[in-house]
């Protein structure tokens, strides 16, 4: 039973040391500052959100046009109906 605990302790210690070394290397090798990375990430997310909204609007328009064609009613799904 004691060897199982010792193995677990060695594993936990190795994991902690590895994580610490990995984090230190990551900080030292980072190509830009945290603020710059946050700004770039925010800009990317804003662009992705805008593009997603545009894609949603285009898909909605395509579906509505197909529906109008299927029901032979050009005013279906519009405010004119």
Q: Which two tokens stand for residue 48?
A: 């992705």
Considering the domain architecture, whether residues 54 and 78 belong to the same structural domain is answered as yes
The pLDDT of residue 1 is above 80:
no
What is the structure's pLDDT at 2? 56
Considering the domain architecture, whether residues 37 and 68 belong to the same structural domain is answered as yes
Considering the domain architecture, whether residues 41 and 26 belong to the same structural domain is answered as no
Q: Tell me how many domains the chain contains.
A: 2
Note down the domain range covering 76: 33-81
Considering the domain architecture, whether residues 48 and 71 belong to the same structural domain is answered as yes
Considering the domain architecture, whether residues 39 and 14 belong to the same structural domain is answered as no
Contacts for 81 with CB less than 8 Å, ≥ 6 apart: 73, 75
* Each residue's pLDDT tens digit, 20-79: 999 888 878 888 887 898 899 899 999 999 999 999 999 999 999 999 999 999 998 887
The pLDDT of residue 3 is above 60:
yes
Contacts for 66 with CB less than 8 Å, ≥ 6 apart: none
pTM over 0.75: no
Query: How many C-beta atoms lie closer than 10 Å to residue 65's C-beta?
Result: 13
What is the structure's pLDDT at 54? 96
């Amino acid at each position: 039973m004691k060897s199982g605990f010792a193995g677990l302790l060695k594993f936990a210690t190795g994991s902690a040391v590895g994580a610490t070394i990995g984090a230190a290397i990551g900080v030292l090798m980072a190509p830009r500052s945290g603020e710059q990375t946050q700004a770039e990430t925010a800009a990317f997310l804003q662009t992705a959100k805008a593009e997603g909204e545009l894609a949603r609007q285009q898909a909605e328009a395509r579906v509505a046009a197909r529906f109008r064609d299927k029901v032979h009613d050009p005013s279906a799904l519009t405010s004119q109906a």
